[in-house]
Amino acid sequence: MKKIASFTVNHDVLEKGMYISRIDGDIVTYDIRMKKPNAGDYLDMRSAHTLEHLFATYARNSKFGEAIVYVGPMGCKTGFYLLVRDSVSPENAISLVRESMEFIAKYEGKIPGNTRKECGNYLYHDLQGAKALALDMQEVLKDYQVENLQYKE
């Protein structure tokens, strides 16, 4: 079988950040890398679950909402994927992720979609952990530019 794109990335040199993972027609997949791969520190899944609810809610309610295809965690517990239509420029994608992380870091209140009827694991959340992850990513993305979106070899 053909090797999928994400398995061709050298995870030994991958750092926290935001990268263009792939482009499929009009869909751009962004790799939001929140933890250094294979470094022994991975996303706590309660925190990641909460971050997912808040990130997806913010992104889908932003001015780019109609262009958001998917927001969700990576199985390896080192980050998230953000899939958008190509009508969202790379500059705007960076801004959207920055704004999303600011929203999450400051969020107070009920977690969106957090009832038994709305979520398959509605008790499995950690707002304070999600806020800590978002604060860390705010620092990582503070001076991020489009040229930083390319994976390093």
HSE-up of residue 61 (Cα within 13 Å, Cβ side): 10
pLDDT at 75: 95
pLDDT at 13: 92
Is 129 strand, coil or helix? helix
- List the single range of 2-6, 66-70, 92-96 with lowest mean pLDDT: 2-6
Please give the Cα distance from 128 to 46 (Å, whole number): 10
Neighbours of 54 (CB within 10 A): 25
Give the C-alpha distances (Å, rounded to integers) separating 80 from 29, 35, 76, 105, 117: 10, 10, 10, 16, 24
